[in-house]
Structure 1
């Protein structure tokens, strides 16, 4: 493989990785939220310092938009906290008891994402199979394992048949 192909391949791989990172970064809806402990989020709820709240049930996280920043939240008015399994209902009741505007979101995975998770390993296995079969035969035919074409006959090289050597007692060295 020459140097230009290596550089081109590495450039394409870097570009694909950069585009993937950019896609996931721009689709991250938790940007701008400061991660805090669950106890800090509960203290903000109990202290009537919450303007709006969103409970993401599948991810088990609570997003709070605070009325005012505090030292516990490092000066941020938007905080996000993880909560344990089964704690969504008490959180919802606590937020409703304080009169906080609350939204609950249950995120469903996309069909394309689910299909990609199941099909990508299969496609990789097929690609590896094709790659290895082409490497074995030099790209000629599939399932041609061990068919070396390294020694080709030419006019200068005589063909020796069984009839030529039949009856010979021993090999000539």
Structure 2
């Protein structure tokens, strides 16, 4: 697995940036969290930003080493599936806030901003509901299921904005 280096300082912001502060790591996590892409090929094929396979492989190794992902060992002929850990699931509010900032300060497309708007409008209650869904899907939690799920609502908002 990847190596975890000593931090440059004990600052909490630095500690976070050292784990996911490069240009690809949060994008890989975004695609697992929001796109429900759990396999290498899904992550690469579904990448809006066109991540190269060597970069994706490196970021997945780093995320495993930092404890943000786990990987099911695959037998011969099977694909390895990645799952979020609790620390990664707790990034949902960070993604929501980054999306809100991007909505206000960067050019975005109507279709791609729909999910960020829904997360912003839903606030912490929606974020918690989504984190509970992710806990069920990735950690096997037996938290209750609400219908429609947050992911279904996010995808519906995206489809509506795309049409």
TM-score (norm 1): 0.20
Structure of higher RCO (CA pairs closer than 8 Å, 6+ residues apart): 2
Structure with more of its chain in helix, by fraction:
2
Structure with more of its chain in strand, by fraction:
1
